[in-house]
A = this chain, B = another copy of it.
Amino acid sequence: MFSIGQLSSQAQVKVPTIRYYEDIGLIDPPHRSEGNQRRYEPDALSRLTFIRHARDLGLSIDAIKDLIVLNANPDMPCKEAHVIANQHLKDLQRKITQLQQLSVELTRITQNCNSDTVGHCKVLEALGDHSSCKTDH
C-alpha cells in the first residue's frame, strides 16, 4: 500500500500528474483511507511506470490509453501495438526532418550579418523574408 507521495517518488511522476491521470481515466481510482486519502496497490506502480516511459518516448495519452487496453488482454494479437509504435516512429522521423530543415535555414540566417545596427541587420531581414530560404516550412 502506497500513499500518493510514495507512488510519486517510486514512479517518478509528480503527485498532481497522478491525480490528473486518474481524472482522465488513465489509471484506476484507488482505494481510500478512512480520511479519504489515496492508497495504492503495487500494480498501480507498474501501470504508472509504463505510462511514464511511454510518455518519455513521446507517445500521446490517447495512444497510451490504447496500449493499456491491449495490455489488459494478453490473448489478443499484438499487431495493433506495433501499428501504434510504428506510427509514432514515423511521426517522430517526420518531425526530425522538419526541424533539421529549420536548423539549416536558421544557421544560414544567423551567419549573415555584417552590420551593427538594426537598420541593416541581415538577420532581421532574413527572419522576415522567406524568399532566400532553400526549403519550405
Q: Chain A: residues with CB nearer than 8 A to chain B?
A: 46, 49-50, 53-54, 56-59, 67, 70-71, 73-79, 81-82, 85-86, 88-89, 92-93, 95-96, 99-100, 102-103, 105-107, 109-110, 113, 115-121, 123-124, 127-130, 137
Contact = CB atoms under 8 A, between A and B. Distances in A.
A75 B127 contact: no
Contacts of A127: 50, 53-54, 57, 59, 67, 81, 85
A85 B49 CA distance: 38
21 contacts: A46-B128, A50-B128, A54-B127, A56-B137, A57-B102, A57-B109, A67-B124, A70-B118, A71-B118, A73-B118, A74-B118, A74-B119, A78-B116, A78-B117, A78-B118, A78-B120, A81-B127, A85-B106, A88-B106, A89-B107, A96-B103
A106 B92 CA distance: 9
Nearest to A87: B110
Copies of this chain assembled into the complex: 2
A57 B127 CA distance: 8
Given A50-B127, A85-B123, A92-B103, 19 more contacts: A53-B129, A53-B130, A57-B102, A57-B137, A67-B127, A70-B124, A75-B118, A76-B117, A76-B118, A77-B116, A78-B113, A78-B115, A78-B120, A78-B124, A82-B113, A86-B110, A89-B110, A93-B103, A96-B100
